[in-house]
Amino acid sequence: MILAPSLLSANFLQLQQDCDMLNTSQADWYHIDVMDGTFVPNISFGAMVTKFITSASTKYNDVHLMINKPENYAEAFRDAGANNLTIHLEACPHLHRNIEQIKNLGMHVGVAINPHTPVSTLINILQDIDLVCLMSVNPGFGGQAFIPNTIQKIAALKQIINEQNLNIKIEVDGGVTLENAKLIINAGADILVAGNTVFKAQNPLEMIAKLKAV
């Protein structure tokens, strides 16, 4: 299992310390949440802050764009150090074009779907991508409760991936806790994102180790 702590719940006045903590931890990836206040009802940060984070990171940088018109920013996030760029199906009327652009920029590409979007909407682009991000909360905020129906979506997507022998990772994003992590992995998830659970823990390093051990 790949564990990707979300920096959204980090302390932005001490980002260097939080990045140092992640670097020494058992976490595998950085998960970097970008919000534009239009696609989602919240604003986080953009390519500039992302670049500071990736320069402190010694790990794989997974950037989750919760923004409209990602084509206008894909190059900026590549230059800011993104290894993977995930865009939202709901934000992209020309999703295939967006995927090609990100690949041509030399990044891995992920597609995220909101809780109400069926996994069947992904069928015609699965062969073109590296990762599917199943949102298990409505994107926009950290610290929300896991939506239980996501478990069926993970299983359904896993079945399609296995049947078609595809090389795609399933990422689950939102509301992941020590209590539900096992269930999510057993359903077929490869990557767990955890924001609040990691950064609001008394001992984030220990929490990361516990999540890795579930």
Question: Rule CB under 6 A: is residue 188 a binding residue for ligand DX5?
Answer: no
Site mask for ligand DX5 (CB under 6 A), range 99-138, x = bound: --------------------------------------x-
Out of 68, 83, 117, 144, point to the residue binding ligand DX5 (CB under 6 A). 144
Q: Residue 33 catalytic?
A: yes
Stretch that binds ligand DX5, among 123-131, 153-161, 162-170, 174-182 (CB under 6 A): 174-182
Question: Rule CB under 6 A: is residue 171 a binding residue for ligand DX5?
Answer: no
Q: Which of 18, 33, 62, 130 is catalytic?
A: 33
Q: What does the DSSP assignment read for the chain? A: -EEEEBGGGS-GGGHHHHHHHHHHSS--EEEEEEEBSSSSS-B---HHHHHHHHHH--SEEEEEEE-S-GGGTHHHHHHTT-SEEEEEGGG-TTHHHHHHHHHHTT-EEEEEE-TTS-GGGGTTTGGG-SEEEEESS-TT-SSPPP-TTHHHHHHHHHHHHHHTT---EEEEESS--TTTHHHHHHHT-SEEEESHHHHTSSSHHHHHHHHHH-
Residue nearest ligand DX5, Cβ-based: 195
Stretch that binds ligand DX5, among 4-12, 67-75, 89-97, 205-213 (CB under 6 A): 4-12
List the interface residues with Zn ion, window 10-69 (CB under 5 A): 33, 64
Question: Rule CB under 5 A: is residue 173 a binding residue for Zn ion?
Answer: yes
Interface with ligand DX5: number of residues (CB under 6 A): 22
Closer CB to ligand DX5, 95 or 193, in the complex:
193
Q: Which residues of this protein are in contact with Zn ion, per CB under 5 A?
A: 33, 64, 173
Catalytic residues: 33, 173
Q: Which residues of this protein are in contact with ligand DX5, per CB under 6 A?
A: 6, 8-9, 31, 33, 64, 137, 139-144, 173-176, 193-197
